[in-house]
Amino acid sequence: MRWGLTAFDAPALVERALDLTLDGTLKTQELRDVLLAFVRRRATVEVAFAWAQRHFDEITKASPHFGPLVLARVPVSLSNAERVRAVEAFLRPHLEKLGGASDLKENVDVGLRCAALADKERSSTAAWLAGR
């Protein structure tokens, strides 16, 4: 059931699926899988992260080991250095307390490299696509 819930891109449906992980509809251990599915996809990462910010305490209570580690992966799905840094600014103090700061650092580094590559290649890629 949980995999079908993660096939949506519409923000309201993403939030509803995530709500099911905390309201008792899904098993607590399914929080990790549902949240991870949404933070891995560019179409849903921002909605999932905004939801996670609002529910951070509930996530860490329900899944103290895996919830924060899943959130540390958010920067990898972003292609914007400013967003990577904003996510890092929110997560760093929380993950330092929970022991996930090294995972966050790795993922921020990857996210920043992806953002730099996207910036470098954006105009040439757009020009190439326009010619097709």
**pLDDT tens digits, one per residue of 72-95:** 999 999 989 999 999 999 999 999
* Six-digit token string for 126: 């757009």
User: Is residue 99 predicted with pLDDT exceeding 90?
Assistant: no
Calculate the alpha carbon distances from 26 to 19, 21, 29, 55 in Å.
9, 5, 8, 16
Taking the model in full, what pTM does it have?
A: 0.87
Of residues 122 and 84, the one with the higher pLDDT is 84
Residue 2: the pLDDT is 60
**Domain span holding position 87:** 2-130
Q: Are the C-beta atoms of 29 and 65 separated by less than 8 Å? A: no
User: 93: left (phi > 0), else alpha (psi -120 to 50), else beta?
Assistant: alpha
Calculate the alpha carbon distances from 68 to 30, 38, 58, 71, 129 in Å.
14, 14, 11, 5, 38
Task: Name the nearest CA neighbour of 75 among 37, 31, 115, 127.
Answer: 115
Cα R_g (the chain), whole angstroms: 16
Q: How many domains does the chain have?
A: 1
**pLDDT tens digits, one per residue of 21-78:** 999 999 888 998 999 999 999 999 999 999 999 999 999 898 887 888 899 999 999 9
What is the Cα–Cα distance from 68 to 99, expressed in whole angstroms? 9
Task: Name the nearest CA neighbour of 88 among 108, 68, 73.
Answer: 108
